[in-house]
Structure 1
């Protein structure tokens, strides 16, 4: 059972198997709606300074002994409910990379885009409408329409875009994936 849990906690293959990410300079990373933090922790392990944001940090897996020179205290942990209007706006032009996985709150698209520094990256992966045919989420509020994610970042340089079946171990889901670079000017 422990082995299965470790596999589920591994960072997304969209991050771990991507050459663009391998060439990323050290910088500031935002893991938005971070959940267990698996993706942000992967970057923290590589030496990046990570800001974790979620409405609860109860599921965040902060290692007691980091695998690299970074320490849990080097990072920022913000308990913000991004949907109820109580959270402050994301700081503009702050992050070299913004990560969003399995989360969709459309009113945040403009804040997310503004939070990325010019020349910085966004990595976004979440569910598309076809997901409702096989499981959760089913609510259209949490499901992207066809090409919706790509069109939200249409003025950015798209380095990777995909919509369709994604396998995570034995689990099938339908998702959109985007890696895009914000224009420098």
Structure 2
């Protein structure tokens, strides 16, 4: 167990260095396609209520219990396959913040947008088509086209947008990053 705790990666700098996100009060957060839960755990440690959602929760950090301790009962853990049609739709206007990292299933864009409360925020970071030149993923179904993410949320207030090289833990990738606020009405 101890060895796995040491392998838990820190939350994305997109999350930890955002002035906008640091000002959020206790919020309802959805960590969609959460993987190890690194980004959702960052918010859980700060007292937010987090829904961890992934096809399988087997990769959810074993350190989550020690990191969020007895607060874990206030969190929700959903093992849903969002791509095969078996999962219920995401609840509309439920979350103050939705986090999506390294995941792209274009048919979910409307559900993801609808899940954010008016005035809520989305943080989305995933690979762009240039990524195929240097590594995985290479499948165009998992790679955004130029400005695709920004165009998907064009009616939202853009707080941050970037496309290009991202260096994390000495690994280079090509990604799009978006932080946007949903209109109040």
Q: Decide: shared fold, TM above 0.5.
A: yes
Aligned residue-pair number: 183
Q: Secondary structure at the match of 1:183?
A: coil
Distance 1:45 1:82 in 2: 26
Q: Which 4+ runs in 1 deviate beyond 4 A?
A: 5-8
The answer to whether the Cα contact below 8 Å between 2:100 and 2:124 also exists between their aligned partners in 1 is yes
Q: How far apart are 1:6 and its partner, in Å? A: 4.5
RMSD: 1.8
The answer to whether the Cα contact below 8 Å between 1:66 and 1:72 also exists between their aligned partners in 2 is no
The answer to whether the Cα contact below 8 Å between 1:157 and 1:182 also exists between their aligned partners in 2 is yes
The answer to whether the Cα contact below 8 Å between 1:32 and 1:99 also exists between their aligned partners in 2 is yes
Task: Tell me the equivalent position of 2:118.
Answer: 118
Q: Does residue 90 of structure 1 match 2:98?
A: no
Q: Secondary structure at the match of 1:21?
A: helix
Task: Tell me the equivalent position of 1:66.
Answer: 67
Distance 2:167 2:114 in 1: 31
Q: How far apart are 1:67 and its partner, in Å? A: 5.0
Q: How far apart are 1:65 and its partner, in Å? A: 2.4
Distance 2:7 2:17 in 1: 15
**Equivalent residues in 2 for 1:156-175 (5 A)?**
156-175=156-175
**Equivalent residues in 2 for 1:20-35 (5 A)?**
20-35=20-35
